[in-house]
Structure 1
Amino acid sequence: MNRSDKRSKSRLKQRALIAAIITGAVMVQPGCGIPQLRGAKPGQAMPQTYTRPASTSSESVNWDVATAIPTEPPTVDATEESKPSEGGLIRLAGFLRQATKIEPDKSDDKDKTENQDEHGKPSEDQSVVSQAADDPISLFAPAAMPAVDSFDLANTGENSGQFDWHQFFDDPFLAGLIDQALVGNQELRILAEEIQIACNETYARSGEYRPFVDVGAGVGLEKSGEHTRAGAVEDQLEVAPGRGFPDPLPDFLVGANVSWQLDIWKKLRNAQSAAAMRYLSTQEGRNYVVTGLVAEIAENYYELLALDNRLMTLHKTIEIQQNSLKTADAMKEAGRGTELAVQRFQAEVRKNQSEKLIIEQEIVEVENRINFLVGRYPQHVQRMSVEYIDLTLQSISAGVPAQLLQNRPDIRAAERELQAAGLDIKVAKARFYPSLNLNAGVGYQAFAAGYLFRTPESLIYSIGGDLVAPLINKRAIQAAYRTANAKQLQAVYNYQQTVLHAYTEVINQLTKVSNYGKSIEIKKQQLASLEASVDSATKLFQNARAEYVEVLLAQREMMEAKMLIIDIKQQQLSATISAYQALGGSGGAPANFN
């Protein structure tokens, strides 16, 4: 092919490309069949304080600082910046940091007229959808309280959820168990692999808007028939004067191909940013599991201490009853009592001895439950030996409700999912617009290896572009766009539900800590009276001035009161741990990518 033919062919390609660009520009004009978005209903604004309704108490109680447990709360430097969680399973790469810097898609401005009312203002539903995608936290911010920036999470006040669990739990045995669980728990290891999968997805998306380059080499051999067009043409051609083409014809090729989809409408970049948001959501999901794991280990640990105290209470009660049994037996021998009293005391002793074995079995099961959470085989769990009724944890400082948006990893995960859903809509919308693909290739091709790298005789190259846009039957694209819209609405409502659930959890646990604490103080007074009654009944029985039934009832009531107060104390400690979890404690600091 001579140079004039090559020039004419290049001109034809240029004209076809210009025509395609003009056609695509026409297709981009308004009226390309993009459905109107449906809007989500905004949730109620979060209250500014944790205030219990007046109907539940004669006095109004503000839960900004709950002092149900009389201990000083830990102090932290309020000016300390929130740091990313250390020791993470994945080190963020540059592509992920870049993906989290989400910018508004300017191409959306072309379609604002599709979602405006008759006065030229955005419709209420559409503004809510845009607000949910760009700033989901503002859906819950009351007018008097500024919205919280999801990437600028400065501390606005003391809150127990901002304290590390090492500060909240001062028991060295419990701290050791939690440390082992964060390393050996199998569920956390499974979640770590899910995070790795999400990271790989983000990494794959980061390459889709970059050029693809393929390099290759090939060798072939072709034999054309003499009675074919190719064979007849080759028979008439000469490679050099007096030298024809070889038969069969070898073919040697070395070259590179480049393909590149220009991301005009940010479809590919938005898809990568959505994958990055979901990657961050999986990290927050792991942090939420960590909060649950820390709380579950702590609750089981204090349940173990409660069972130890139940066992100790039974042991002391059995000692008292055995002394009463000896007294009844001595009175029988002296003719001052009957066999009935002896048998009743004996039955009560046997009953409590049987109860001890049941509690010992419960201790084994709770120990193994802790061992399973820690990720080790059954073994003895080391723990403190304390007076359980007087055991206290750090006091709960609730702060303000807006801090839940910063501290709770499940809320942060729901926020990431909402942002990803908003980006999915932009990706689905970009499918209505033309896509431009560029293809190019360069290399060397010859029928003999000795001629392969001769320039320009063996040099080959090509370049071209495709502009493709949907024209007729866009139902599949419209359905995908509506599906993305519906999933965004789901994400909005899920976010609202998560915030409401978090606020309700905090209120429930704070009131439980307070009410159970008051109940324990009253129960202590009841227990003191019962202990005094047991002492009096025992002395009267020894002096034959009281019946054995009165002694039995007094001892039984004292033991039941001790068991009940231990149970209430366990519930109070569990509520304190649950309140710490509900405030976002041990959930890890939110990542900062700025």
Structure 2
Amino acid sequence: MAALAFAVAGCNAPALVLKTENKAVPTEYTSSQDSTNSAKVSWREFFTDPHLKDLIETALKNNQELNITLQEIQIAQNEVRARQGEYQPFVGLRGGTSVDKVSRYTLPGATVDATEIKPGKHTPDPLGNVFAGAVATWEVDIWHKLRNAKKAAVNRYLASVEGKNFMVTNLIAEIANSYYELLALDNQLEILRQNIEIQSNALHIVRLQKESARVTELAVRRFEAQVLNTRSLQYNVQQQIVETENRINFLVGRFPQPVARNPKDFNKLVPTAVQAGIPSQLLQNRPDIRRAEQELEAAKLDVKVARARFYPSLGISAGLGFQAFNPAYLLKAPESLIFSLAGDLAGPLINKNAIIADYNSASARQVQAVFNYERTILNAYIEVANQLSRISNLEKSYDLKAKEVDALTQSITISNSLFGSARADYMEVLLTQREAQESRFDLVETKMQQLNATVSIYRALGGGWK
């Protein structure tokens, strides 16, 4: 019967079909094919600001989400240990005692008086039972079902490690971007304070000119409105500074406190030159791609495990110990010695719907894992391509913005001079001051975007976690 079940189960097992992933990527991002890749640079070397380095160091120790992920890695490691133990023999100790009183009107009861263990001594009634010994069970992994399950657990453990690495690179990038945003806000606040001083001086001059009847009350009110508007913007920026500081504090894993920084160095910061290397390096440098690859390998093994359930399983059990109705006889060998050895071969024969459903689900998840892996590669390439283009365009934009700021800064002095000599009206002065302020704001914003683009390309290439 066992042989029949073996044959039927083997014939009905579905063919193993696994979808093959496509790892092909373009050969280059641009015309350059230099294999030098900034992703291999440690974040401690990539970032030079000592305050930013301190924030990242603290975050890698205290960030709650990262610490949660570390516990998930521990859970995955324990799953590997559990799977490894499943295909090894289970050995345990067993002991127990019991008392049985059988009915006289049953076969065991009717033979109690007739059974003697010694001449002139009958079997005790009630009859005690004492047992102590070792037992072992082992499922022989004929089809590598248990080994493949263990390998799948290993792949998922490695995927969890790569997930942690991906979180690290994202955490570092988020802290760096928030830090540069904070420096930009500090500089915008300083611009507003300087403008308030300039506009207040202009307002004082306009009031003097009104007293001498050179301008009307309308000019005074317009200049007052300009000062009030700039002061209002000052408080908006101050609120943004508070929120950005607290965002950094949250990432660092601490309660709100001032973030150490040097805003005066912001304009001196030069975006780090990033070398993208070649696209195929993404497969090794990007933690999310490596994680998707490990999850794909685990999904493939899951299909093999599900397929192995169509075949019979072989189990072996054994026991060795001592048993007696009286503890005084328990260790008397060989009379009290007992042992057993049994083998069990069982396989599915009828109603295999559950096994078929599990196999189909495992196959579908494997196909999903292939698409997820290919999507992750595509997303990584597009992220790098976008950031490379962004860096190039922001560099050109910053140069033009810097020239615009120089021109408008000079125009403020010119407009004030012309207004003082009555050769320009107050609206020209107001418009020039407003445009100059906006252009300086835009220049700071562009500088921040440049720095963020550098961080983003570093992250997109897979840097920061090694």
**Structure 1 and Structure 2 fold alike (TM over 0.5):** yes
1:497 to 365, 375, 378: 375
Q: Does 1:410 align with 2:288?
A: yes
1:86-141 CA distances to partner (integer Å, 9 max, x unpaired)? xxxxxxxxxxxxxxxxxxxxxxxxxxxxxxxxxxxxxxxxxxxxxxxxxxxxxxxx
Contact 1:253 1:446 in 2 (8 A): yes
| CA distance in 2 between partners of 1:63 and 1:196 (Å) | 42
- 1:333 corresponding residue in structure 2: 211
- 1:366 corresponding residue in structure 2: 244
Q: Does 1:47 align with 2:26?
A: yes
| CA distance in 2 between partners of 1:181 and 1:35 (Å) | 50
**RMSD over aligned Cα atoms:** 1.7
2:151 to 273, 279, 287: 273
Contact 1:37 1:482 in 2 (8 A): no
- 2:162 corresponding residue in structure 1: 284
1:318 to 196, 201, 208: 196
| CA distance in 1 between partners of 2:231 and 2:33 (Å) | 47
Paired letter, 1:544: A
- 1:301 corresponding residue in structure 2: 179
| CA distance in 1 between partners of 2:139 and 2:331 (Å) | 30
1:416-435 CA distances to partner (integer Å, 9 max, x unpaired)? 00000111111111112111
| CA distance in 1 between partners of 2:368 and 2:262 (Å) | 47
Contact 1:35 1:482 in 2 (8 A): no
Q: CA deviation at 1:573?
A: 1.6
Contact 2:324 2:330 in 1 (8 A): yes
- Aligned pairs for 1:17-32 within 5 A: 20=2, 22-23=3-4, 26-27=7-8, 32=11
**Higher helix share goes to which structure?**
2
Q: TM-score, normalised by structure 2?
A: 0.96
Q: Does 1:342 align with 2:213?
A: no
| CA distance in 2 between partners of 1:41 and 1:459 (Å) | 57
Q: Does 1:566 align with 2:444?
A: yes
Q: Does 1:241 align with 2:119?
A: yes
Q: CA deviation at 1:390?
A: 4.0
2:303 to 415, 425, 437: 425
- Aligned pairs for 1:498-513 within 5 A: 498-513=376-391
More deviation, 482-491/415-424 = 482-491
Contact 2:18 2:366 in 1 (8 A): no
| CA distance in 2 between partners of 1:291 and 1:206 (Å) | 32
Q: CA deviation at 1:183?
A: 1.1
Q: CA deviation at 1:462?
A: 0.9
- 1:160 corresponding residue in structure 2: 38
| CA distance in 1 between partners of 2:131 and 2:309 (Å) | 37
- 1:33 corresponding residue in structure 2: 12
Paired letter, 1:534: I
- 1:228 corresponding residue in structure 2: 106
- Aligned pairs for 1:51-200 within 5 A: 51=30, 62=31, 64=33, 157-200=35-78
| CA distance in 1 between partners of 2:19 and 2:324 (Å) | 64
Contact 1:408 1:587 in 2 (8 A): no
Q: CA deviation at 1:476?
A: 2.3
**Residues 1:266 and 1:44: Cα distance change in structure 2 (over 3 Å):** closer
Q: Does 1:472 align with 2:350?
A: yes
| CA distance in 2 between partners of 1:302 and 1:63 (Å) | 30
Paired letter, 1:193: Q
More deviation, 272-281/333-342 = 333-342
Identity between Structure 1 and Structure 2 (%): 50
Contact 2:21 2:373 in 1 (8 A): no
Q: CA deviation at 1:273?
A: 0.7
Contact 1:37 1:485 in 2 (8 A): no
1:534 to 408, 412, 420: 412
- 2:229 corresponding residue in structure 1: 351
Contact 2:169 2:462 in 1 (8 A): yes
Paired positions, count: 466
Q: Name stretches of at least 5 consecutive residues in structure 2 with no aligned partner.
A: none
Contact 1:168 1:393 in 2 (8 A): no
| CA distance in 2 between partners of 1:434 and 1:354 (Å) | 78
Contact 2:140 2:314 in 1 (8 A): yes
Paired letter, 1:386: K
Q: Name stretches of at least 5 consecutive residues in structure 1 with no aligned partner.
A: 1-18, 52-61, 66-156, 589-594
| Paired residue secondary structure (1:183) | helix
Q: CA deviation at 1:578?
A: 1.0
**Residues 1:447 and 1:37: Cα distance change in structure 2 (over 3 Å):** closer
Q: CA deviation at 1:474?
A: 2.5
| CA distance in 1 between partners of 2:64 and 2:18 (Å) | 41
